[in-house]
Amino acid sequence: MVCMENIKQLCYDNKIILAPMVRINTLPMRLLALDYGADIVYTEELIDHRLIRCYRKVNETLQSIDYIDKSDATVVFRTCSREKPYVVLQIGTSDPERAAKAAQVVEQDVAGIDINMGCPKDFSLKGGMGAALLFNPDKACAILSAVVSAVKIPVTCKIRVLEDIDDTVALCKKLAVTGVAAIGIHGRTIKERPIHPNRNHFIKAISEALNIPVIANGGSKEIKVFEDIIKFKNVTGCSSVMIARTAEKNCSIFKKDGKLELFTVIRDYLHHAVDYDNVAPNSKYCIQNMLQNIQETEQGRLFLESTSLQQICDLWELGDYCRQKQKKMNYLRFEERDVACN
Ligand code: FNR
C-alpha cells in the first residue's frame, strides 16, 4: 500500500480518526480529539456555496485562521497551526466545479479534503449532495476527479453502503480510480438508522477489493473502550477506523490508556472553547451531547439555563480562567484596532 508520509502528505493508513459531525466538530472538539490521541480529525460538513463565499483572515488575537462568510460575517471555519497536519475538511457538494473551487479556498490551511457522499438528510438529497451521489456514480466520480486535479493535498470521500454487497464493491472500485487517497465507509445503507447493525462484512469486502486505504465507520454502538476500536478494525479488515457518536459522548475514547471521567473531558473541552473564543451556543450544544441524561441533575439544570461561555465555565470551576482569557482577548482586540487606526 502506498503511503505518502515520507513527503509530508497526510497518510490514511493505520489511523484512528474523529469522524465528521455537524456542529460537533468545530475547532475545540477537533483539538480535544488530538489531545486524546486521534491521528486525524475531520471537520463538520461545510457546503461548497458557503466556502466559496468566504474570505481568509489571520486572527492575531486568537492565533487562528478564520474563514468568514462575506454575506453575513459569520466564521464558517476556524482553524489553527496545531491541527494543520491532521485536519481534513469535509465538503458537501453536488457539482465538480464548485467542489474544486471550495477545496482551493481552504487548501493552504488543511491536510486533506473529504467529499460527503453519505448524508441521508432531505436537505442533502434534494440538493443532489451527500448520499444522492451514491446513486449518481458518474457525478460522484466527476466531483472527485475535479477536486483531485484542483488541489495538491489528498482527497477522500465518505460513503454509506448500498443494499447489495457486490454493487457497493463495484461503486468503491469506480470511486478509487479517480485518485482518491482513501475511502471512508459507514456500514449502513441510506435507510438504516444507528439501531441497525453495521454491515462490517461489506466493509471487509471493500477493504479486500481496493488497493487504497479503507476507513471503517459505523461501529460506535460496540465501541465502549479503546480496545473495541482495535476489534472493529480487525473485524472489518480495514487500514483505519473513524469514530463519531462514541467520541461525541466522551472524546477521551481515543486515549490508549483508558477513558477519562466525563467532567474532566468537559473541562478540557472548555479550555479549548475559551482559548478559541468558540461561540456559546455551539459550545453548549457540544457539552449537551456529552451530558445526555446528566442534564436532569441540579448542575444540568443550571447548565441548560446558561447562555454565555462564562456561565458555562462557572459551572465547571473555570470561571476565573474564562474571565482572564476574555479580558486579555478584549485588550488584544483593542490594541489590534488601535494599530489599524494609526
Ligand atoms: C454525523 N455524521 C456525519 N457524517 C458526515 O459525513 N458528515 C457530517 O457532517 C456528519 N454529521 C454528523 C453529526 C452527528 C451529530 C452525528 C452523530 C453523525 C455521521 C458520522 O460521521 C458517522 O458516519 C455515523 O455516526 C456512524 O459512525 P459511528 O457514530 O457509529 O461512529
Percentage of residues in the chain having pLDDT higher than 70: 96
Query: Which residue matches cell numbers 484596532?
Result: 337
**Residue whose CA is closest, atom 20 of ligand 1?**
244
| pLDDT for 320 beyond 90 | yes
Q: What is the per-residue pLDDT across 265-293, written as a single tens digit (0 to 9) for each? A: 999 999 999 999 999 999 999 999 999 87
C-alpha cell at 46: 461545510
**Residue whose CA is closest, atom 17 of ligand 1?**
245
How large is the angle between the packed helices 280-291 and 27-36, nearest 10 degrees? 50
Q: What is the per-residue pLDDT across 2-29, written as a single tens digit (0 to 9) for each? A: 454 444 699 999 999 999 999 999 999 9
Q: What is the per-residue pLDDT across 324-341, written as a single tens digit (0 to 9) for each? A: 999 999 888 877 776 666
Q: What is the value of ipTM here, to two decimals?
A: 0.99
Q: Average pLDDT of 99-105?
A: 98
Q: How far, in Å, is the centroid of ligand 1 from the Cα of 244?
A: 5
How many Cα atoms occupy the beta-carbon half-sphere of 288 within 13 Å?
Answer: 15
Whole-angstrom Cα distance, residue 52 to residue 67?
Answer: 10
* Mean pLDDT score across all residues of the chain: 95
Q: Are 181 and 153 in contact, with CB atoms under 8 Å apart?
A: no
Nearest-atom number in ligand 1 for the CA of 218 is: 30
Q: How far, in Å, is the centroid of ligand 1 from the Cα of 106?
A: 22
**Residue whose CA is closest, atom 30 of ligand 1?**
218
In this structure, the residues whose C-beta lies within 6 A of any atom of ligand 1 are 19-22, 24, 44-45, 90, 116, 118-119, 158, 186, 217-220, 243-246, 248
Q: How far, in Å, is the centroid of ligand 1 from the Cα of 6?
A: 31
